[in-house]
Structure 1
Amino acid sequence: MNGETITLAHAGLAFSVQAHGTGPVVLLLHGFPDTPATFAHQLGALAEAGYLAVAVRMRGYEPSSQPEDGDYHAVRMAEDVVAIAAALSEAPVHLVGHDWGANIAYAAASLAPERFASLVTMAVPHPVRFGEAFAANAEQQARSAYILAFQTRGFEAQILADDCAYLEALWCAWSPGWDIPAALLGAMKATFREPGVAQAALAYYRQAFDTVSPAALETAALFTKPITVPTLGLCGADDQCIAQDVFMGAMRESDFPGGLETRAIPGAGHFCHAEAPDAVNAALLDWFARHPA
């Protein structure tokens, strides 16, 4: 496949995916506020190295993947990822997640570890340990204040106002040294202007605070389960969303009995895969070579 966009279905939803190359599958999950466009450097490099690189537009980030019941609990999105992986390959795939995509990747690896040859998470550490660090770290609480703002009814209008100025400001704050390509910002803003996307994206954060529904309990069970898939955690050394020391402290070997390595990417902020693609691609290819599908 050479830059082909295809559609995959699961649970009555349709997901657009960008596929490049042939070979063992690498499944790439984007975060907030983002689109698969920030994986452009990974798609090309992985395809050239002999992989089928596939970037998924996550649940809710297009009208066709917005469920009627409005369920955006992590367990449901983990089920999406497992189904997409199975549709792409009978063999285990490599799973890569950034930001919210990292959260979902942890959940998917816990849900169906046999589906994944390796796991790479970027920018967001183990969700339970991050919650513990957040509770004890005033500086991180300040950095994450936007999460509490997202709980406000009607906040969708604020993130869409003035050509999504709020979302652009998040990118600039989280990656202060990055000369952000206009095309990436444009792709993100165009996505958030699609019907229902802003509501879906904020639902990720709102439903993360649910502790009583059956889906919330299923999600909690996944997040507290040890991850047996070999895991590489990457963060930008200059990430202003989740600080490097918080990320590293929340990645504990005891939670990853399948093996854990962590690396900080020098000179990169929150969007390390787009800011320092050469360094991130080298780390990915080294990891996949050491954990073949």
Structure 2
Amino acid sequence: MDIKHITVNGLDLAYVEQGEGPLALLLHGFPETPDMFRHLMPELVNAGYRVVAPYMRGFAPSQVPPDGSMLMKDLIADANALHEALGGDGDAVIVGHDWGGFTTWGAAALAPERWSKVIVADVPPVRFYERRAAVPEQIHKNSHFYFFQMSVADQLVPVNDFAYLDWLWEHWSGNVPGFDSAQDRQAGKDALREPANLRAGLGLYRQNFPAAEFGTPAWDMGRLLAELPTQPTLYLHGGEDPVVDEEILADIVAALPEGSDGALLPGVGHFPMVEAPQEVNRRILAFLAK
């Protein structure tokens, strides 16, 4: 797909686009790119959507913010500004995974008039993170949160062609037979290969999870994402990603508005869009068709 460019919030953001119809904005996470949605995009096009998947600010070929800001408030502002700049209307839908998922929770809650339906994968609303925060397995699964706070990460992450990012994919993936993450790993590395891009990517963690405030009442991201969407929402989560279990999933769906739904995908890890694309696409299309 050809890469296009658009200016929002003073930044040049790259994006890929397919189809015509109501806007479907797809937001990726770390260490990912819009390629994460390569299986979903044609299905949404066939369902009648104009599908746009931007490269997150700081991820090449999008611009690195001149002030280095990768704060959640800026990511949310980018999503809602893209809706405006791309001519979205009230029929638009928003889909997010990982950091794109955090952004989706915030963008949908802040501007409900822009997004008719909301889909998030593998990052529950922040209020549900504390349920397993003290579980050792969960602490270990999130070890990158703590490693990335150290300045030495800028030197260690790129070693041996970003071998740490290869390890993260292995660490977060599930037990899907035949799943190969090579294409996604390469795309993520290329988006973060330049030092400025890597600093921006690591800045997501350093700026939004500051060591002194993360998890306390002073935590800005926690306050910003405290409200849930008022639109029908679909929440998908890989069963091998331990931050959510069946009990927590049921409570998430119960906290969401009428018309919402959720699913825990057996054997799938943190990357359901590429680990189990047929199942994910089926669930998303059924939800949008309601």
TM-score over 0.5 for the pair: yes
Pairwise CA RMSD? 2.2
* Alpha-carbon spacing, 1:50–1:4, altered in 2? closer, same or farther (3 Å): farther
Flag the 1:243–1:265 CA change in 2: closer, same or farther, 3 A: same
Change (3 A) 1:64 1:274: closer
Deviation at 1:5, TM superposition (A): 2.5
Distance 2:250 2:128 in 1: 8
Equivalent residue, structure 1, for 2:197: 197
Among candidates 53, 58, 69, match of residue 56 of structure 2: 58
SS of 1:32's equivalent in the other structure is coil
2:137 is the alignment partner of 1:139: yes
The AA in structure 2 aligned to 1:164 is F
Q: By how many angstroms is 1:24 displaced?
A: 1.6
After the TM superposition, which residues 92-111 of structure 1 pair with which residues of structure 2 at under 5 Å, given as runs? 92=90, 93-111=92-110
Report how far residue 66 of structure 1 moved: 1.6
Residue of structure 2 equivalent to 1:5: 3
Deviations 1:234-293 (A, max 9, x none): 0112236x4545862672533x33553111223322110111111111111111112xxx
CA distance in 2, matches of 1:220, 1:186: 32
Q: 1:45 matched to which residue of 2?
A: 43
Q: Residues 58 and 224 (structure 1 numbering): CA distance in 2 closer, same or farther, change over 3 Å?
A: same
Say whether the 8 Å CA contact 2:126–2:225 is kept in structure 1.
Answer: yes
- Which stretch of the first structure deviates more once superposed, 9-18 or 173-182? 173-182
Number of equivalences: 282
Distance 1:245 1:208, change over 3 A: farther
The answer for the alignment partner of 1:113 in structure 2 is 112
Residue equivalent to 1:261: 261
Q: Distance in 2 between matches of 1:69 and 1:63?
A: 17
- Tell me, what secondary structure is at the counterpart of 1:180? coil
Residue of structure 1 equivalent to 2:160: 162
- The yes-or-no answer on 1:234 pairing with 2:236 is yes
Look up the equivalent residue of 1:253 and give its one-letter code: A
Partner of 1:33: 31
Q: What do the CA deviations read for 1:180-229 (whole angstroms, capped 9, x no partner)?
A: 243222211111213412111111111123459xxx87644431123212
- What is the match of residue 76 of structure 1? 74
Q: SS of the counterpart of 2:137?
A: helix
Give the Å deviation of 1:86.
1.6
**Deviation sequence 1:11-57 (CA, Å, 0-9, x none):** 21011111011112111000111111111111122112221111110
Tell me, yes or no, if the aligned pair for 1:253 and 1:259 is still in contact at 8 Å: no
Q: Secondary structure at the match of 1:18?
A: strand
1:106 aligned partner, one-letter code? W
Aligned counterpart, 2:147:
149
Q: Please tell me the residue identity of whatever aligns with 1:202.
A: L
Distance 1:27 1:170 in 2: 26
Quick one: distance in 2 between partners of 1:217 and 1:174?
A: 25
Shift in alpha-carbon separation, 1:63–1:280, aligned structure 2, 3 A: closer
Deviations for 1:153-191, whole angstroms, at most 9, x for unmatched residues? Answer: 231221111111000111012114353243222211111
Structure 1 regions of 5+ residues with no counterpart? none
- Distance in 2 separating the partners of 1:260 and 1:155: 39
Q: Which residue does 1:127 correspond to in 2?
A: 126
The separation in 2 between residues aligned to 1:141 and 1:261, in whole angstroms, is 27
Find the residue that maps to 1:251 and give its secondary structure: helix
Q: Distance in 2 between matches of 1:79 and 1:274?
A: 27
Equivalent-residue separation in structure 1 for 2:189 and 2:70 (angstroms): 21
Once the two structures are TM-superposed, the CA of residue 97 in structure 1 deviates from its matched residue by: 0.4
C-alpha contact (below 8 Å) 1:111/1:222 kept by paired residues: no
Whole-angstrom distance in 2 between the partners of 1:95 and 1:145: 29
Whether the 8 Å CA contact 1:228–1:259 is kept in 2: the answer is no
